[in-house]
Amino acid sequence: MQTISQLAKRYQISRTALLYYEVMGLLKASRRTLSGYRLYDAVREKRLEAICLYRKAGLPLKDIRTLLEKGRGGSFARILEKRLSKINDEIGELKNQQRMILELLKNRRTLKMGKINKEQWIRIFRETGLSDKQMENWHRIFEKNAPEGHQEFLEFLNIPKEEIKAIRAQFSR
């Protein structure tokens, strides 16, 4: 039997993660001591090992719960294929970003001179293969990860303040 701290240390995850797994119904303690400490047996540890493996594969907790509850039947392949498809989509997005960066580097002289406007920026995005949806996703990620940088970028394009406010509001959701 191991305590929650021992398991957390062994699997290099936080105690909080283990407690969350309990709340989600993924991992329950085998029993508790008289003083309320959670103890985990070898069966529960094996279950945690599977949870950690699935997390490393990038599976969401709800899919992990499905796998653990239903075993490795048809849902196993379906869930892994869904994750693989998502990874392929992410690779595609990264390739689009890579093309965009290469295009930006090619046009860096224009950027350095500050002679690029909103329409030219949209054209660059489109020439690198980004769809409208991908451009919206780019703005959403930019706003989420670097809101001040997003503001500065929009100002750099000489977009009117009201339009900047509307753009940022649209992509901060």
Please report the pLDDT score of residue 126 as a whole number: 82
User: Phi then psi for 116, rounded to 5 degrees?
Assistant: -110, 140
Cβ proximity of 171 and 146 under 8 Å = no
Please write the tens of the pLDDT for every residue from 76-135: 888 889 999 999 999 988 888 887 777 766 666 555 556 677 888 888 888 878 888 888
Structure tokens at 120: 């030219």
Going across the sheet that includes 38-40, the strands are 2-3, 38-40, 31-32
Share of the chain above pLDDT 70, in %: 90
Instruction: Please state the rounded mean pLDDT for residues 61-77.
Output: 79
User: Phi then psi for 14, rounded to 5 degrees?
Assistant: -80, 155
Is the entire prediction scored with pTM above 0.85?
no
Cβ proximity of 28 and 22 under 8 Å = yes
Q: How far is CA 16 from the centre of its chain?
A: 19
CATH no. of 2-59: 1.10.1660.10
pLDDT at residue 74 is higher than 70: no
Using CB atoms within 10 A of its CB, is residue 54 exposed (0-12), middle (13-18) or buried (19+)? buried
Please write the tens of the pLDDT for every residue from 39-54: 999 999 999 999 999 9
pLDDT at residue 19 is higher than 90: yes
Structure tokens at 100: 């965009």
| For the chain, domain boundaries | 2-59, 96-171
